[in-house]
A and B are shown apart, each in its own frame.
Chain A
Amino acid sequence: QKEVEQNSGPLSVPEGAIASLNCTYSDRGSQSFFWYRQYSGKSPELIMFIYSNGDKEDGRFTAQLNKASQYVSLLIRDSQPSDSATYLCAVPVRGSYIPTFGRGTSLIVHP
């Protein structure tokens, strides 16, 4: 079992809607999580890092962490076609910030 699990999608939302991406994790000891965005054929880019329960907001992005239920989610408000990409959830290798990734969820924002 992978450390993090994601629905591969694709998740399709209309422009302007809220996109909700989810990730569950198996190691109850995991303390922090990453969300990366990756456009096709390009390197991943970090968009959010969260390590405490609750919400963390950055612009149109909100990450939510629920340690009791072992899930982390990413909300994208006012989705734009340029948000169409694969979103990767990741947890660090113990003792480092080196990420290990889930399969990623493909998001399609249609006009």
Chain B
Amino acid sequence: EAQVTQNPRYLITVTGKKLTVTCSQNMNHEYMSWYRQDPGLGLRQIYYSMNVEVTDKGDVPEGYKVSRKEKRNFPLILESPSPNQTSLYFCASRPAGGGADTQYFGPGTRLTVL
């Protein structure tokens, strides 16, 4: 089954404790991206990647890192999480040459930073 998986789905952590949210897709997609969603602010793009070793900042990259060492994985790293990073996070992927309807979203990761 074609899918984007995220782990963990729920996480409660404390300020300053480094964490990684994993994102993996099994469709050999070139493009992957991370979003955060907060009430009243919609989905804001954090980082995106158009291929292995190619990443670009989105609208709200501060406090986050990403890496794209393999095509299937695009982890989101919070080196020193802070309470303002409490949010719902979505990973997404799509093929480079696909049509508009070939975007796949993961199920979301709800992160709480105390």
Contacts and interface: CB of A to CB of B under 8 A. Distances in A.
Interface in B57-114: 58-59, 88, 90, 92, 94, 96, 98-103, 105-108
Interface residues of B, number: 28
Contacts, number: 62
A29 B39 CA distance: 29
Given A43-B90, A97-B94, A103-B41, A49 B48 contact: no
22 contacts: A8-B40, A32-B100, A34-B100, A41-B88, A41-B108, A43-B90, A43-B106, A46-B103, A49-B99, A49-B100, A88-B43, A93-B48, A96-B48, A96-B50, A98-B33, A98-B45, A98-B92, A98-B94, A98-B103, A101-B35, A101-B44, A104-B42
6 closest A-B pairs by beta carbon, nearest first, are A49-B100, A103-B42, A43-B105, A101-B43, A104-B42, A101-B42
